[in-house]
């Protein structure tokens, strides 16, 4: 019987779901949201705080500060609360209210950016606010998930190795790109050991990470308004850009089968489906995709008919056809 003393000790449940009943072909989903933070960001949060403590950056009167669209903010809020460290999360108005409420319940101080930067969108506006707070008060410790080595090494040491242990004949891995920590950790591990695994990056339409034009995005998580410093776009075998409407329709197709996943997971699964239909018509590849989040924090958005109709129109509520 596992017994933990701190919430961040529960990180990886090592659980996979086979989507064959929905997809009409085997596609294994690694569920990374079954922890106290509800997302894969718990791994990066735990690794970054551990590194900062080891390097002596976190002292008696330190205040953690970080920019997050939601999931990392929750993960850091949980660990900070467990350790008794004050934490300020700089987010923006796309952060859904359920996620914001979770952070407030944990004692996190929220600073919400209302206006995007004209060139770098909400992300640049958030980062500018973080930098101002750090300049004004040297008690602030910015972990900087966008340029922190621990963000990707956590997945190099854990996520990628765990997947290959269970699927030694893996042909293709699908992984979403936000800060690029998960994606870069996995692709670097497979490349370093010489594994013949194709790694396909999944991004959102409107994200600039792979050179596409910026556009307004409503579902937080994957995608970026500024190219992530951790990202090496040439490291991947392929890239799939998923429209937000397709992501939310996939979320609803999954929930209709009892699988309540988050918006980032819907994006990754739809990207995997698109790539496999195009590249594996005979359905012979062993394929895994990483599910970053669960769906409870999207109940007011992705799973709310009124919100979907208001932002995407009635076609977004049309169910996906059976495969």
Name the region of 69 (left: φ>0; alpha: ψ -120 to 50; beta: rest): alpha
Once rounded to an integer, what is the mean pLDDT over residues 84-111? Answer: 93
d(CA 181, CA 201): 12
Question: Which pLDDT tens digit goes with each residue over 200-210?
Answer: 999 999 999 99
Reply yes or no on whether the pLDDT at 14 is more than 90: no
Question: Which pLDDT tens digit goes with each residue over 126-153?
Answer: 999 999 999 999 999 999 998 999 999 9
**At 224, is the pLDDT very low, low, confident or very high (cuts 50, 70, 90)?**
confident
List C-alpha distances in Å: 186 to 116, 168, 183, 217, 273. Answer: 31, 14, 5, 26, 20
Question: Which pLDDT tens digit goes with each residue over 264-313?
Answer: 999 999 999 999 999 999 999 999 999 999 999 899 999 999 999 999 99
**At 12, is the pLDDT very low, low, confident or very high (cuts 50, 70, 90)?**
low
Which stretch of DSSP H or E encloses residue 250? helix 244-255
pTM value surpassing 0.75: yes
Once rounded to an integer, what is the mean pLDDT over residues 25-44? Answer: 94
Domains for the chain: give ranges and CATH numbers: 7-34+156-310 (3.40.50.1100), 41-146 (3.40.50.1100)
């Amino acid at each position: 019987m596992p017994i933990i003393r701190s919430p961040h000790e529960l990180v990886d449940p090592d659980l996979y779901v086979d989507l064959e009943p929905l997809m009409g072909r085997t596609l294994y989903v690694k569920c990374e949201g079954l922890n106290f933070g509800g997302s894969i960001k718990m791994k990066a949060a735990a690794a970054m705080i551990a590194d900062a403590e080891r390097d002596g950056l976190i002292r008696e009167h330190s205040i953690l500060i970080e920019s997050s669209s939601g999931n990392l903010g929750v993960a850091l809020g949980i660990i900070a609360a467990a350790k008794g460290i004050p934490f300020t999360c700089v987010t923006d108005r796309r952060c859904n209210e359920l996620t914001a409420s979770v952070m407030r319940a944990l004692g996190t101080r929220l600073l919400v950016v209302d206006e995007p930067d004209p060139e770098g969108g909400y992300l640049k506006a958030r980062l500018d606010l973080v930098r101002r707070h750090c300049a004004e008060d040297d008690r602030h410790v910015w972990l900087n998930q966008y340029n922190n080595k621990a963000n990707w090494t956590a997945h190099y040491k854990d996520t990628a190795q765990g997947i290959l242990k269970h699927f030694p004949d893996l042909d293709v891995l699908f992984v979403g790109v936000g800060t690029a920590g998960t994606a870069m950790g996995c692709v670097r591990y497979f490349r370093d050991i010489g594994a013949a695994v194709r790694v396909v990056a999944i991004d959102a339409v409107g994200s600039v990470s792979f050179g596409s034009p910026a556009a307004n995005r409503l579902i937080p998580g994957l995608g970026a308004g500024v190219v992530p410093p951790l990202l090496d776009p040439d490291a991947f075998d392929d890239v799939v850009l998923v429209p937000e409407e397709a992501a939310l329709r996939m979320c609803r197709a999954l929930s209709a089968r009892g699988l309540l996943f988050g918006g980032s997971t819907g994006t990754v699964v739809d990207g995997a489906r698109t790539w496999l239909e195009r590249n594996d018509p005979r359905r012979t590849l062993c394929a895994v995709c990483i599910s970053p989040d669960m769906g409870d924090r999207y109940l007011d958005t992705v799973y709310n008919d009124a919100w979907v109709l208001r932002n995407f129109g009635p076609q977004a509520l049309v169910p996906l056809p059976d495969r």
